[in-house]
Structure 1
Amino acid sequence: MVQELKRRHDWRGRLSAFLDETRRDGFAWGKHDCALGLACGAVEAITGADLRKGWRGKYKTNKGALRALKKRGFDNVGDAFAAELPEYDNLLMAGVGDIAVVQSDDEFLEAMAVVDVSSLIILTSEGQGRIPRSRMVRAFKVG
């Protein structure tokens, strides 16, 4: 069910604190991956809403994540976020703290990112990284 979330009055500080706390946390399937760790963590920092419910502990590998998505009727991780958050028709409308989908080279073919002022924050094996906003292929409104 698509949710109209509200941003907390101090969302910028909360998002900044979340990103600082997790800056060096590397990618780990089912714990700190691009969806559960980065994107859902940012949504929770900004709004207080926990989008991880029902997903925690359900997978530990990329194949497990794909199975979990398929079991819930999603073809990809972007569609799972589209079931929870309003999607922008115009990617240029995405602002700081919104969630983006970018294409990836793995079997998922896409990954989640957090929109920042001039770039997208992504998750790598070493922690957070940045890529150009031009890599965004979908975007979702957070509050």
Structure 2
Amino acid sequence: MNRFRIVEATLTRELAKPYAYGSTDCFMLGCAFVDALTGSAVADKYRAVYQTLAGAQRALRRRGHASLVSFFAAELGQEPKGGAEARLGDLVILRLSDGAEHVGICLGGRFVTKTERGRSDHALADVVAAFHLG
């Protein structure tokens, strides 16, 4: 299957699931893409580690990270890139208007994340870091 089909299938599958912290939130969306494009099992490693936003923040700090950027840099073994370097299917960290970081996916000219209200599309200006996958 080519990259476009993998991205399309993974995004459709993950957005169809109801939002739940620790299993089907924006972080797990990112993990699903890491797994789909690299063949790893990152989602299984972190599934059900937290059940609330506060729990997610504690889990991040327990692992020695102050942000999602430093977490994914360590997990993926790469330095973060600028948002303009993101390509289809790459993982991005978005900073939304509420000031919170969200994990998203590059769809070319826009970036998508999963929120409690469903799919949320964003522009390049919201991207604080990008990581190449696959």
- Which of 129-138 and 111-120 deviates more? 129-138
Structure 1 position 115, deviation (Å): 0.6
Higher relative contact order (CA 8 A, sep 6+): 1
Opposite residue 68 of structure 1, the aligned amino acid is A
* Aligned: 1:32 with 2:16: no
Residues 10-19 or 95-104, more deviating: 10-19
| SS of equivalent residue, structure 1 residue 87 | coil
Which residue is equivalent to 1:100?
92
The answer to whether the 8 Å contact 1:33/1:123 transfers is: yes
* Partner Cα distance (2:107, 2:15) in 1: 14
- Counterpart CA distance in 1 for 2:44 and 2:13 is 21
In 2: Cα distance, 1:26 partner to 1:89 partner = 30
Paired AA for residue 80 in structure 1: F
**How many residues matched?**
132
Other structure's SS at 1:52 match:
helix
Find the residue that maps to 1:82 and give its secondary structure.
helix
Q: Kindly indicate whether residue 106 of structure 2 is the aligned counterpart of residue 115 of structure 1.
A: yes
Alignment map for 1:1-143 (pairs within 5 Å) = 10-36=2-28, 38-85=29-76, 86-104=78-96, 105=98, 109-143=100-134
TM, length-normalised to structure 2: 0.86
Distance 1:26 1:134 in 2: 27
Q: Percent identity?
A: 30
Which runs of 5 or more residues in structure 2 are unaligned?
Answer: none
